[in-house]
Structure 1
Amino acid sequence: MASIDLDKVLDKAWADKSLPEILAAPVGALKGVSDRDGELLEEAFGVKTVADLADLKYVRWAQALSALRTAE
């Protein structure tokens, strides 16, 4: 399993939280995602939490396409 540097992907307030807490956190817990970005994601796609964003079918589709690109 790949590791991830939580300090690089999470807002400081969330870096020491457990994985379940992070997944249940608002998307604003991700570094670079503003409260307004979170509002827009909720309005457009119903995304409220980090887990919701990870499970969003459009994110999964984009990841699959990117994986295909790197496989070529």
Structure 2
Amino acid sequence: MPVTANLVKLVDKEYQDKSLAELVDAPVAALAGVSERAATHLKEALGIKTIGDLGRSQYFRTASALVNLAEHGE
């Protein structure tokens, strides 16, 4: 079963018609609200260049897990 998602509010306009596979390889700045400057900082500090790198980052996964545990009980 194919999965569909409305990405209008999640990514910049030029990326809204891309496939999920293309989005994973897109630069972090393609995410709505992420500036080129912020993307540069992520690249310099953590080596994160793409949306996929960000999603797979051990730091962001750990932070997300901690937030979920805190919000939903340990």
For residues 4 and 47 of structure 1, the distance between their equivalents in structure 2, rounded to whole angstroms, comes to: 24
1:18-58, CA deviations, whole angstroms, 9 ceiling, x for partnerless residues? 11110000001000111111111000000000000001111
In structure 1, runs of 5+ residues without a counterpart are: none
Q: Percent identity?
A: 46
Q: Kindly report structure 1 stretches of 4+ aligned residues shifted beyond 3 Å.
A: none
Who is 1:21 aligned against?
22
In structure 2, runs of 5+ residues without a counterpart are: none
CA displacement at 1:66 relative to structure 2: 1.1
Who is 2:35 aligned against?
34
Task: Let me know the Cα RMSD of the aligned residues.
Answer: 1.3
Structure showing the higher helix proportion among its residues: 1
Number of positions where the alignment pairs a residue of Structure 1 with one of Structure 2: 70
Report the residue type matching 2:27 in the other structure: P
For residues 18 and 4 of structure 1, the distance between their equivalents in structure 2, rounded to whole angstroms, comes to: 10
Larger Rg: 2
For residues 42 and 16 of structure 1, the distance between their equivalents in structure 2, rounded to whole angstroms, comes to: 25
CA displacement at 1:70 relative to structure 2: 2.2
Query: Please, what TM-score do these two structures have when normalized by structure 2?
Result: 0.87
